[in-house]
Amino acid sequence: MPSKSVGPVRPAKRPVVGSQLGGRPASKKTSRPAPCPSVTPKPAMGTKTSRPMATNRPSLRARAPHASRTFAGAKPRSLTSVPAAKASSTTKGISPLSSLGAMASKTADAASAIKGKGKIAGGILAAVAVLAIIAIVVINSGLFAATDIQIYGSEHVTKHDAMQLINLPENTSLFNVDPDQITEGLKQNPWVSGVDIQRQFPHTLIITPTERKVIAIAYISSDDLAWAIGDDDTWIAPLSTSVEVDDQGNVITSGEGANTLTGIDAALALAKHYGAVLLTDVSADVAPVSGRAVSSKAVKAGLDYARGFSSEFLDQVKDISTPSVEAISANLDNGVEVSLGDSDDIAKKERIVTKLLSQVEGVTYINVRSPGNYTFRNAPTA
């Protein structure tokens, strides 16, 4: 049998792998030839075996091949694309276009809301205008006309005097009545400080004057007059210095008193009646006028003490002498005379007097014109 060549035998034809030859893969799969009965001989010594190149698998990061291309010997893959518009859940940035769109949407909503509120506000204004018109018609109609006007007097303002001072327009109703106008009319009487108006529907109007509060009674001995002074430092009116009192010394206005007091005693009883302080030794050049403010410095200083003393201490004060500012003094019910001087440090002066009266027996005189250097006298005790 003839011997065969020892050289390498060309292998049988096989499908060409594109990656081996570097060429384009065949578009069609070639038919595989029948297997050759001969065995491929081993390569000769010293020669390297021609190893086919391994087929490179496409990397996951590599671009997808063209749709018309396939890798030989590998099945084609189908890649699912992610829509670009769908943002990842881990994305922190916000698209400017989406922000502008959101702002535009909110602005449109706000404009719609404002437009709706504008319609509501317009409706409210229209309703208010209608109600105002109705109110004007009702006020000026006779539906609530003040046909029953009741005027009451007070302690020093009689009903007759009040009626003379009040001038109501013919079309007065319970709504358009003017309290200021009524007050100004009644204030022509110096006792009046204001007015109390009550409305009882549908036609009743009740008017009652309110009087000034009397803070002091100033007794002017030269004229034997007792003048009432209001808490607004206004001269109110002179009072009669002949009054009737009961057994306890209370003023009786009915004219059926047990005793009749005159002069300074009557002034003292009147001060007690009003819960006021009696000012004595008023200078003869003081000329009070009803409704005028007090201008005398000595009298004004006496009023300062009347307001500055505590109510507990005032209960012990019989009268305050006011011949001049420097010579103001208080006479207490227990007979003690207190030299006060001007109306500075009133509370401090009261504390000193109260302390001396409680700690020293037989005190008859206290001088607190200078509270820091006060003096006192007391009667000797057995």
Last residue of a domain, one of 187, 211, 235: 211
Burial (CB < 10 A; 0-12, 13-18, 19+), residue 98, is exposed
CB neighbour burial string for 275-303, b if at least 16 within 10 angstroms, e if fewer? ebbbbbbbeeebebeeeeebebebbbbbb
In this structure, the answer to whether residues 252 and 188 fall within a common structural domain is no
Asked if residue 281 and residue 221 are part of one domain, the reply reads yes
Could you tell me if residue 122 is inside a domain?
Answer: no
Confidence of residue 101 (pLDDT cuts 50, 70, 90): low
Statement to judge: residues 235 and 368 lie in one domain: yes
Count the Cβ atoms, other than its own, within 10 Å of residue 234: 19
Each residue of 268-320: pLDDT tens digit?
999 999 999 999 999 999 999 999 999 999 999 999 999 999 999 999 999 99
* pLDDT classification of 382: cutoffs 50, 70, 90: low
Question: Is the model's pLDDT at 2 over the cut of 80?
Answer: no
211, 231, 248 - which closes a domain: 211
233, 352: one domain: yes
Which residue has better confidence, 52 or 146? Answer: 146
Give the structural domain span for 317.
214-378
What pLDDT score was predicted for residue 381? 66
Regarding whether 279 and 334 lie in a shared domain, the answer is yes
Do 201 and 243 fall into the same domain?
no
Could you tell me if residue 180 is inside a domain? Answer: yes
Tally the domains of the chain: 2
Whether 276 and 153 map to the same domain: the answer is no
Q: Name 4's Cβ contacts closer than 8 Å, sequence gap at least 6.
A: none
Tell me whether residue 157 is in a domain: yes
- pLDDT number for residue 119: 72
Residue 133 or residue 354, greater confidence: 354
Q: Distance between CA 228 and CA 220 in Å, rounded?
A: 11
Same domain, residue pair 189 and 204: yes
Q: Please report which confidence band the pLDDT of residue 66 belongs to, taking 50, 70 and 90 as the band edges.
A: very low
Q: Decide: 227 and 267 in contact? Cβ < 8 Å.
A: no
* 55 occurs within a structural domain: no
Q: Where are the beta strands (DSSP E) in 161-283?
A: 192-200, 204-211, 214-220, 225-230, 235-239, 242-245, 251-252, 259-262, 277-280
Q: Which of 109-118, 174-183, 239-248 has the lowest mean pLDDT?
A: 109-118
- The domain boundary, picked from 189, 211, 233, lies at 211
Residue 21 has pLDDT above 60, yes or no: no
Whichever domain contains 163, its CATH number is 3.10.20.310
Q: Clarify whether residues 274 and 167 are in a common domain.
A: no
Give the separation between CA 278 and CA 178, rounded to whole angstroms: 38
Residues 6+ apart with CB under 8 A from 147: 203
Note the pTM of the prediction, 2 decimals: 0.64
Is-contact 183 214, C-beta < 8 A?
no
In a domain, 351, yes or no: yes
Q: What is the CATH classification number for the domain harbouring 237? A: 3.40.50
Q: Is 288 within the bounds of a domain?
A: yes
What are 50's two structure tokens?
Answer: 């021609």
Q: How confident is the model at residue 346 (pLDDT cuts 50, 70, 90)?
A: very high
Question: How close are the terminal C-alpha atoms of the chain, in Å?
Answer: 181
Q: In this predicted structure, which of 69-83, 119-133, 224-238 has the lowest mean pLDDT?
A: 69-83
Statement to judge: residues 200 and 295 lie in one domain: no
Phi, psi of 195 (to 5 degrees): -145, 145
The string of DSSP letters for 95-133 reads -HHHHHHHHHHHHHHHHHHHHHHHHHHHHHHHHHHHHHH
Phi, psi (rounded to 5 degrees) for 103: -65, -40
pLDDT at 141: 66
- What is the pLDDT confidence band of residue 8, given thresholds at 50, 70 and 90? very low
Burial class (CB in 10 A: 0-12, 13-18, 19+), 35: exposed
CB–CB of 166/151 below 8 Å? yes
**Token pair recorded at residue 290:** 């009803």
Higher pLDDT, 272 or 83: 272
- Mean pLDDT (the chain) is 78
268 in a domain, yes or no? yes
**Do 194 and 161 share a domain, yes or no?**
yes
pLDDT of residue 337: 98
CA angle 15, 21, 23 (to 5 degrees): 95
More confident residue, 241 or 7: 241
Look at residue 100 and tell me if it is in a domain: no
Query: Does 324 have pLDDT greater than 90?
Result: yes
pLDDT band at 16 (very low <50, low <70, confident <90, very high): very low
Q: What count of other Cβ atoms lies within 10 Å of the Cβ of residue 71?
A: 17
At residue 184, the 3 state secondary structure works out as helix
Q: Which of 336, 303, 341 is nearest to 318 (CA)?
A: 336
Q: Give the whole-number percent of the chain exceeding pLDDT 90.
A: 55
CA distance 188 to 162: 10
Q: Which residue has the higher pLDDT, 270 or 60?
A: 270
198 and 335: one domain?
no
